[in-house]
Amino acid sequence: MNVSLSQMAVLDAVARNRSFSGAARDLHIGQPMVSRTVALVERMVNATLFTRTTRTVELTDAGRAYLAIARSVLAAADRAHRQWDGYQAGENGEVAVAVLPSVAATVLPAAVREFTRGRPGRSVTVFDVPADEGMDMLKAGHVDLAMCEARQTHLAPDFADIQLLTTDTLVAVTPPDSPLAALDEITWAQLAQHPFVALLPGSSVRALTDFGFDAASTSPRALVTARGVPTVAGLVAADIGVSAVPTGVLPLLGSQALAVRPLTDPVVTRRIHLLERTPPSPAAHAFRKALTDAYALRTAKGSAP
């Protein structure tokens, strides 16, 4: 037979109080139960753990040796219980997220800061990847959360819970001395008359710009492609061409001297959705809340991507 945690707790209470009655009061049980438990444990370990007098109860050498073991077991069990409670409350745990590069550089830092602040048991692994790659990682079980644009939600796995995070629109970006910069708003047809700096195929922004040109029944005069928004900004600032980006990535344009104008005929809207693996871990669900709160805060400030 193995000595249980509750039996070890009785031994500890008796040793601390040097009294069976004191142990009974601490544990809110009857004194006979304390006496029976001590006697049972002594038979189980084949050793006398306490010497009893009319006034006090003292540990034997065997009792001191066994109590040291019992207290280490009780302490380990307490740590384990607290760790499990922390996991269930989302206070402990690892979260892996696949986010759009534009989100990784704008909203995500605030969410990670809020999620981890004052909680050393939490950790986050971030993959800043295009939406289709993030979707594959979610399907393969490599991440807990992923992002995609509305037109890709039909590709989401059945086990994913889908939430709309934010909505923004595409705007035209031109060199400041471009003839287009003199206009109050720019159409896709007008944008197509100039070389166009686009993001690489596979990105959510590239899918949207392709859609915008197709919807306007036009195509760019020439196409230059780049991997990241800052590179696009640099190419446009160097008068290589013009571009179109969601308002949410405007902070990534940096200090480049660029003109930004509304883009119409048609107005193209980007809707970013968050996909969460179900059932989620408590930590993953807590990170989802931190991310949605970060978006809500940016929306309240009027600068949400």
Indicate whether 179 pLDDT > 90.
yes
Q: Which amino acid is at 147?
A: M
Indicate whether 303 pLDDT > 60.
no
Of the listed ranges 4-13, 112-121, 190-199, 210-219, the one predicted with least confidence:
112-121
pLDDT per residue as tens digits for the range 16-64: 999 999 999 999 999 999 999 999 999 999 999 999 887 889 999 999 9
Contact 238, 108 (CB under 8 A): no
Indicate whether 302 pLDDT > 70.
no
Question: Given this model, what pLDDT does residue 305 score?
Answer: 47
With a threshold of 0.75, does the pTM exceed it? no
Question: Given this model, what pLDDT does residue 304 score?
Answer: 45
Task: Summarize the confidence of residues 208-220 as an average pLDDT.
Answer: 95
Indicate whether 1 pLDDT > 70.
no
pLDDT per residue as tens digits for the range 88-118: 767 778 899 999 888 888 899 999 999 999 8
Indicate whether 299 pLDDT > 80.
no
Question: Given this model, what pLDDT does residue 102 score?
Answer: 82
pLDDT per residue as tens digits for the range 58-84: 999 999 999 999 999 999 988 888 777
pLDDT per residue as tens digits for the range 132-153: 899 999 999 999 999 988 888 8
Indicate whether 239 pLDDT > 50.
yes
Q: Helix 31-45 and helix 5-17: axis angle, to 10°?
A: 110
Query: Which residues, other chains included, contact 182 with Cβ-Cβ below 8 Å and sequence gap of 6+?
Result: none
